[in-house]
Structure 1
Amino acid sequence: TIPNSVIVETNTLYEGDRFTTAGHREALKVNGWDFCPVDIMDEHGYVNLPVDNAFHLKEVAMGKNIVNYDSMLVLTHFKGHAMGGFGGSMKNIAIGCASGQEGKRQVHGVSGEPPADWNAWPAKEVLMENMADSAKAVIDHFGKRITYINVLRNMSVDCDCAGIHAAKPTIKNIGILASTDLLAIDQASVDLVYGQTADNHDLVERIETRHGLRQLSAMAEHHMGNTQYELIEVK
């Protein structure tokens, strides 16, 4: 229902259904994401966006067409992640806007052909800080014209990267969050997961073993939002 809306994506670094633009478009069609125009932003290359006061990345290669847009609605299925611990709005734009090859290599801290075993890739604090750098480039580009929705339902410890091998969801559906504050929405999402003490063990363990909470502190150090928030329930 958003007028003149366009779904934006970038191709993946790993081989799979979204590795090429043609395959990516077919995957979008199969999953019902072809109800409006779709822009694979790195189909024709990338553009470097600067990162102010970066932890590691002074600029990040984003899908070239990101500069064609002046606003963005970030729709995220909040869940666990094999390397990031969890995937919220920050991870979504940090990885999701980076170009499939150049940008995603930068964020993951790998060059050339990535090792087949992702366990050999840089991780923990370095990955979280790289993601914060990349996400900061995105939010600085859009300024106040970016909004976030985190869907906390059917949450598994794995993300889409795992495909059909992803672990089954183990935590109950919590709800849907919306905010104009990137740090606040991811902080609130994590807090809500930690509050589900009856069934959150797997996801909390995934977050903590990957040092995922560094995502939040890195965003705070980058002044990318607020750790304090108010939950307003809408019925």
Structure 2
Amino acid sequence: MSSDVFFSTIDSKKHKSPLLKVKKLINRCAPEKFFSKNELIAVKTHFGEMGNTAFLRPVFLRPVIEKLNNIGAKPFLTDTNTLYVGMRTNSVDHLYNATMNGFNYSTLQVPVIIADGLRGDNSTEIEINGDILSSVKLAADIATADGMFVVSHFKGHEVTGFGGAIKNISMGCSCRQGKLDMHSDSKPGIFADKCTSCGRCLSFCASSAIDMSPKATINENCSGCSMCISVCPQAAIYINWNASSASTQSKMAEYASGVVKALKGKIIYLNIIMSVSPACDCYPGNDRPVVGDIGFAASTDPVALDKACLDLVCNAYGGTDPFRERYPEVDSDIQLSHAEKMGVGTKKYKLIEVQ
């Protein structure tokens, strides 16, 4: 059984607005069947790191918000804090970053909420029946929403081959500890030369996992919450990015299944296939796109959607995968196949072009 993926090319001989195309794609997904009046609906996207210019343009969110408003729902724009230290590590910096990149009330007329709280520890644990994980740790304000509209920038990624809807609802909807679960197979480490023994990490560690002798060290009590990473003023605590690509992608698929379970499948997905950069929007910069702008695709199935978008990019690149060419050791089919196995969706799709 295949899933419908609705697609609209960026090409426009009659100079139609791309926003009109997005609106038509949204309508084909029948949001009225998913969302109701007064429901709190998360509009999940990626706000882009400061300095990066490849991230999704905020203007593409307007048709989504307009549709939700017409239904009578109460949309809020949301993202989650990052595991790495940057401009989106905590909600204060994150909201400043979002505002500077155009994701704010003045441009979109909806509240902006960082879904995992001030320091990335506001979470809800959801049990799953995964091959690797028995439960996932999701951002609380996403897990407890009444539904979600996921708007993703389809692009390359150095660890997962590509990043699309699956990555947006897994890595993008988890709390900081969840991100660590997916990215690392071990506890954080400490750069002794950067540590000033200020003790700030001690006051935020709930597991008594940090010793000071005289520099901070992490002991066997570490639960992997990674709060210490976000509160260290010297950026002395680092992530062991030691999980393999296959492990990270498989865990992503299992996290995606937890999000679908938490929201009872009340999710619609829209991928923007423009400015298809070769790497993640989390970088404070970006390279030239690997292909020209392609268009927009929407579905109620994130697996089918990502597979269709990957095929569209490959076709535009001459029939080969530009991401695999750049990252030959990364097999991006792992996230698709494992997500399919976890019941998130199917790789079989019917591409329906919408004029």
Q: Provide TM-score, normalisation by structure 2.
A: 0.61
Are 1:152 and 2:273 counterparts?
Answer: yes
Counterpart CA distance in 2 for 1:105 and 1:70 is 26
Q: What is the match of residue 182 of structure 2?
A: 107
Q: What's the CA shift for 1:182?
A: 1.4
Aligned to 1:5, what secondary structure does the other structure show?
strand
Structure 2 counterpart of 1:33, from 81, 103, 107: 103
Are 1:87 and 2:208 counterparts?
Answer: no
Are 1:129 and 2:250 counterparts?
Answer: yes
Aligned to 1:215, what secondary structure does the other structure show?
helix
Structure 2 counterpart of 1:47, from 97, 103, 124: 124
Counterpart CA distance in 2 for 1:209 and 1:49 is 32
Counterpart CA distance in 2 for 1:93 and 1:220 is 14
AA partner of residue 77 (structure 2): I
- Pick the structure with more helix per residue: 1
Are 1:186 and 2:256 counterparts?
Answer: no
Structure 1 counterpart of 2:93, from 13, 23, 35: 23
Are 1:142 and 2:263 counterparts?
Answer: yes
Q: 1:20/1:199 Cα in 2 relative to 1: closer, same or farther (>3 Å)?
A: farther
Comparing 206-215 and 32-41, the one that deviates more: 206-215
Q: What's the CA shift for 1:22?
A: 0.2
Counterpart CA distance in 2 for 1:67 and 1:82 is 28
Counterpart CA distance in 2 for 1:40 and 1:68 is 13
Counterpart CA distance in 1 for 2:283 and 2:99 is 20
Counterpart CA distance in 1 for 2:328 and 2:340 is 18
Q: 1:117/1:48 Cα in 2 relative to 1: closer, same or farther (>3 Å)?
A: closer
Counterpart CA distance in 1 for 2:295 and 2:104 is 25
Instruction: Name which one, 1 or 2, has greater alpha-carbon Rg.
Output: 2
AA partner of residue 10 (structure 1): T
Q: 1:200/1:163 Cα in 2 relative to 1: closer, same or farther (>3 Å)?
A: farther
Aligned to 1:162, what secondary structure does the other structure show?
coil
Structure 1 counterpart of 2:83, from 13, 37, 40: 13
After TM superposition, list the pairs within 5 Å mapping 1:43-82 onto structure 2.
43=117, 45-52=122-129, 54-82=130-158
Kindly indicate whether the alpha-carbon contact (under 8 Å) linking 2:291 and 2:317 is maintained by their aligned counterparts in 1: no
Counterpart CA distance in 1 for 2:89 and 2:239 is 17
AA partner of residue 16 (structure 1): G
Structure 1, gaps ≥5 residues long: none
Q: What's the CA shift for 1:171?
A: 0.7
Counterpart CA distance in 2 for 1:128 and 1:206 is 18
Query: Identity over the aligned pairs, expressed in percent?
Result: 32
Q: Flag the structure with more relative contact order, 1 or 2, with Cα contacts below 8 A and sequence separation at least 6.
A: 2
CA RMSD of the aligned region, Å?
A: 2.0
AA partner of residue 289 (structure 2): P
Q: 1:117/1:11 Cα in 2 relative to 1: closer, same or farther (>3 Å)?
A: closer
Q: What is the match of residue 217 of structure 1?
A: 337
Aligned to 2:126, what secondary structure does the other structure show?
strand
Which deviations, in whole Å up to 9, do the C-alpha atoms of 1:191-226 show, x marking residues without a partner?
Answer: 111212349664232465222111111112112212
AA partner of residue 170 (structure 1): V
Are 1:177 and 2:247 counterparts?
Answer: no
